[in-house]
Amino acid sequence: MEVETNSPIEQEQDEQLVVTPKKAAGKVGFLLLALMASTVGVLCGLLLVYSTDLPQIDELERYRPSAITELYDDQGREIGSFALQRRVIVTYDDLPKLLRDAVISIEDKDFERHWGVDVWRVLGAAYRDFRSGGRVQGASTLTMQLSRNLFLSADKNFGRKIQEVMLAIQIERRFTKSQIFTMYANQIFLGHGVYGFEAGAEYYFSKHARDLALEEAALLAGLPKGPSVYSPIRNPERALHRRNMVINALLEDGKITAEEAAVAKSTPIRLHLQGAPNFVAPYFVEEVRRYLETKYGADEVHEGGLRVYTSLNLDYQRTAERAVLDGLAAYEHRHGWKGHLQNVSDLGQSVAAYLEPDWEQPIVAGSYVHGLVTTVTPGVATVKLGKVNGLLTAPDIAWTKARDLHALLRAGDLVYVRIVDVPLTRSDGASPPLHITLEQESGVQGALMAIENSTGDVKAMVGGRDFDVSKFNRATQALRQVGSSFKPYVYTAAVDQGAKPDDTILDAPVSFTNSSGVWSPHNYDNRFEGVVTLRHALAESRNIPAVKLAAKIGMPTVISYVRKFGITSKMEPYLPVALGAAEVTLQEQVSAFSAFPNDGVRVIPRYIRRVVDYEGHSLEENYPEVKDVISVETARTMTDLLEGVMLHGTAATAGARLKHALGGKTGTTNDFTDAWFIGFSPSTTCGVWIGFDEKKSLGDREAGALAALPIWEQFMRVPIIEHPDESFPGKAAPASAIIKAQSQTTHPQAASVLSR
């Protein structure tokens, strides 16, 4: 049998066929390895490139978000704040489990399990977006969101996403889950300038995060996805839908029961928006801001999270603001309705679109706000006041003397109203119409300042009618002629040189010659009383006795006493200055008068007691700063003389009603351009000024006792209630007994005293 064999050439070809697949496999393997190496190299290069700008891990450990600088009154109640971002820093334990569960359920269900990046979530989102042709969205974990919000831009691109992932991994390696969640909860933006869940709870619901109900926590948890899109203020329907999605997510995760979910979803959104920052005591807060920025710098004040403990008392302040506005309203009622209302059509706006800044502030009984007339009928006018309406009826406009509402108002008119009563919100969440009265703004301004005599603490400050309209502080910045409220300095100089309260002086016509000619002063009532005591002359604010005293002492001496009282404004040594032809600030007047009940010691007004930094370290602590002005004997004599003003002088009507140890002085300038009252109790000194900014007349007989004194009286009821039995130094009997005894021997002319 013959066996067929291949030739040498054929054998060589067969060997080549056998070897080629092995070599090919080796080459493919080599190429794959090379490709992998290249890929790894490229990735490493990319990681190196995108990591060069990432913050170092020690930066993360030192990171501190900007925080609100908060201002507190003397009882620890918040009165204002400064911030670029409204944020209140809290700890993990301050965030209720309900809120934490809601955030995790809707934003990152695997937060407790992943290592910063949820790979399957990223791949799933990438696949969905690849099919839809969009970009990768909805795949960020809480940690990735935190890394982006802390250090990265909001740009949606591949490079930023790589950085986000890398930084998230760093954060997870160095921090615990509770620390990460706390940073996230303090950092996240929730719309309307609010950052963090604590600030969000305070802004939207006026409560702390720990006090949130289920439906409230769910609403906040739904905001990070789109703060403007799901804003309960701008888009309540979308906010409701998003909130219910969060509630469903909680139910799916077993965090709440079906019954709890049903109740929460059926509850309407009820917001209780926090008032605009610094709407309480805005003029006082502005004074504090200027001081803090000068001392610590704007960045520290607006981002440093300082705690500023001020001298203000919130109860005093609210009373002061109400008293000033009530006093201005009373002045305007005396002078009748002027009309000339502005209409939104004049502004090129519609009734439906118009918004008023006042509407951001809380609506409370007694407050004054601007409103928009929406409808007018013969019997009632409806006024829009933000989310609520007010109703005006005929009795509410009676002071205007108008026949009916149509004679005053038309739809679209912008009006100024007083809130008389705020009915309770109904069970369905609806707000009944408010009872309001029609007021007006004539342009008249008012200012009030009150300090505590023993410490100089500024307890209340009103610098004008409306801070939003004019930020000029008439309590600290306005130089106005003080009228007869200057006379106590003349009498102080006289007493210090030996004059006694029962010394007599002639109230009769007199003339003085000076470089500009002959000057003949006259009394307010154009009468002369003959021989009177100094006590009576000051109580009745007789001008001629005051000028004669000043002439006898010498005006340079009088002005030297004025300087002792801390008044620095320029004044010439001319006799008319003795009657108040000198410009002084209200703050200077109030501080000066506090020396009388203080036994001759003046305490410098104090706004800030203590400042604490973010870490709790004390930055400054201020103590009362005192200045010796006059002797104890002179101070007590002057206090006794100024008590006479309240007992049987130009302020006797207020003294009789208050029945307390009080002293003070009215002040009125020529042509009634300025009306003053500066007065004190043993514990508190308060000053009030009324006038127009352009220094025009308030009107005939609008003197200090008529225009300013009622405001002072309304305010002083608060410190009197707090100190019912106080008395001036050197007075042994309780003040109430002194007033009662002396009020029974009121000067016979007290009943007919005109305003001075």
Catalytic residues: 107, 484
In this structure, what DSSP letter does residue 444 have? -
Cα–Cα distance, 15 to 3 (Å, whole number):
20
Could you tell me whether strands 380-385 and 388-393 are parallel, antiparallel, or unpaired per DSSP bridges? Answer: antiparallel
CA distance 258 to 645: 73
* Secondary structure (DSSP) of 269-285: P---PPPPTT-SSHHHH
Amino acid residing at 323: A
The candidate with the shortest Cα–Cα distance to 653, out of 641, 676, 645, is 645
User: Which DSSP category does 400 fall into?
Assistant: G
Half-sphere exposure of 666 toward its Cβ, with a 13 Å CA cutoff? 37
DSSP count for the chain of H helices, then E strands: 24, 25
Contacts of 295 (CB under 8 A, 6+ apart): 620
Distance CA 283, CA 288 (A): 9
Is the Cα dihedral 305, 274, 328, 716 positive or negative?
A: negative
- Whether the Cβ atoms of residue 366 and residue 436 lie closer than 8 Å to each other: no
Residue 506, token pair as written in the block: 């002639």
CA 107 – CA 185 distance, rounded (Å): 12
Angle between helices 197-205 and 214-221 (to 10 degrees): 120
Give whole-number Cα distances, 30 to 42, 83, 387, 625, 701, in Å.
18, 61, 74, 87, 107
Please check whether residue 671 is in contact with residue 682, taking contact to mean a CB–CB distance below 8 angstroms.
no
3-class DSSP assignment, residue 373: strand
SS3 for 551-590 is HHHCHHHHHHHHHHCCCCCCCCCCHHHHHCCCEECHHHHH
| The Cα angle at residue 263 between residues 258 and 269, in degrees rounded to 5 | 135
| Cα distance between residue 733 and residue 725, in whole Å | 9
**Cα-to-chain-centroid distance, residue 429:** 28
d(CA 571, CA 581): 9
* Residue type, position 520, single letter: S
SS3 state of residue 324: helix
Side chain identity at 518, as an amino acid letter?
V
Both tokens of 501, joined, read: 């309260």
d(CA 73, CA 68): 16
Tokens of 223: 């905001």
CB atoms within 10 A of CB 464: 21
Q: Name the β-bridge partners of 213.
A: none
For residue 716, give both structure tokens: 């002083």
CA–CA separation, 111 and 109 (whole Å): 6
Q: How far apart are the first and last CA of the chain?
A: 152
* Tokens representing residue 311 in the block: 């001298």
- State whether the Cα torsion 203-206-212-213 is positive or negative: negative
Distance separating alpha carbons of residues 202 and 197, to the nearest angstrom: 9
Looking at this protein, which amino acid is placed at residue 89? I
Cβ density class 276-301: b for 16+ within 10 Å, e for less: ebbbbbbbbbbbbbeebeeebeeebb
